[in-house]
Amino acid sequence: MTAELSPIDKAKYAAARRSVDFVESGMKLGLGTGSTAAWMVRCLAERVKAEGLKVTCVATSKRTATLARDLGLSVVGMDDVKWLDLTIDGTDEFDPNLNLIKGGGAALLQEKIVATASDRMIVIADAAKEVAQLGAFPLPVEVIPFGWQTTKALIEETLYSLDVLNREVTLRLNRKRPLKTDEGHYILDLNLKRIGNPRQLALVLNQIPGVVENGLFIDICDVVVIGNGDGRVTVRDINSGRVEDAAVDMTLDANVFTDLGD
Ligand code: 5RP
C-alpha cells in the first residue's frame, strides 16, 4: 500500500504512525502542521475510529483543522481547553538537545503557543531533519505587516552582534505577494547557515519591535520520533535519555492511504 510513496514520505509516515501510539483516550491533543503532521492526523483518525478513543484536538493551523475535521476528529479552540496533554508536530531541523527550527509551513506562532501549553511535545521527523547545529534551514520569524521593512532592518542590524555565519533576511512570498500567516502576519526567513547560540538568538529576536515570534523552539520538545523509509523508527526521549528502536509495519493502515484524497 505504501509502494507509491517516496522514501521521504515513507519515513514521515513511519514516524507519524509510531507517534500516535503515545495517544491515550481522554487526552487533549495539539495537532501540528506540515506534511509529517498531516500523516500523524491521518494515523490518529484511524486509531480513533478503530479503537473508539475519545480525544479532543487543538489544531495549529487552519489547514490542519480542516484535515482533522474532515477525518472525523473533534477540533476545538485553544481557549476552550487552555492546556494540553500532548502535542505532536513536525520540524524543519532538530539538534542533539532537541532544540528545533520550525515554521517552514508558516504556522510557527500557533505551533509554539500550542507546544508550550502542553505537558509533552513529540516531534516527528524523517532522519534528514537531524543536524549537529541548527541554522542550515532558514529561520522563520513572524512579523507584523506594519513597518515590516523597519523590523527587517532592525533584525539585520541585531544579527551583526550574534554568532551566526550568514545574515541574509528575505520576505516570504506566495505568488509574488507577501505570504500571510493564519494570524495575518508576514514571515521573514533568516538565512544564517549556522546558529552558534540558539537560546540567545531566540531571546534577542523577540525583543525587536514588530517581531511576533521566531521559529526557534528551545527546551520545548521532549521526544523525537525519527522515521526511515524502510519503516524503522528511533524514539529519543531527552528527559529520560532513553533511546528505543522499533519498526512500523508499512503494509498496514490501508485506510490511511485511501483517505488521502490529495
Ligand atoms: C510548519 C512547520 C512544519 O512542522 C515543518 O515545516 C516541517 O514540515 P514537513 O513535515 O512538511 O517537512 O514547522 O510551520
**Amino acid letter at 78?**
M
Res 261: pLDDT: 45
Q: Rounded to 5 degrees, what angle do the CA atoms 13, 28, 26 make? A: 100
The Å distance, Cα 141 to ligand 1 centre, comes to 14
- At residue 37, the 3 state secondary structure works out as helix
Res 1: pLDDT: 52
Q: Which residues are catalytic?
A: 111
Assigned C-alpha cell, 74: 473533534
Which residues on neighbouring strands pair with residue 211, listed in sequence order?
A: 143
Pocket residues for ligand 1 (CB within 6 Å)? 32-37, 89-92, 102-108, 111
The residue among 154, 164, 166 whose CA lies nearest residue 201 is 164
- At residue 185, the 3 state secondary structure works out as coil
Give domain 139-214's CATH number out of 1.20.810.10, 3.10.450.30, 3.40.50.170, 3.30.70.260.
Answer: 3.30.70.260
The Å distance, Cα 87 to ligand 1 centre, comes to 14
What is the phi/psi pair of residue 58, to 5°? Answer: -115, 125
Q: Which residues of the chain have pLDDT under 50?
A: 261-262
Is 139-214 the same fold as 2-131+219-257? no
Quote the CA–CA distance of 217 and 231 in Å, as a whole number.
27
Query: Ligand 1: which of 8, 31, 36 to mutate, most ligand atoms within 8 Å of CB?
Result: 36
Domain ranges of the chain: 2-131+219-257, 139-214
The model's pTM: 0.96
For the domain spanning 2-131+219-257, the CATH number is 3.40.50.1360
Q: What is the pLDDT of residues 78-110, one digit of tens each?
A: 999 999 999 999 999 999 999 999 999 999 999
Counting from 1 in the atom list of ligand 1, the atom nearest the Cα of 38 is 10
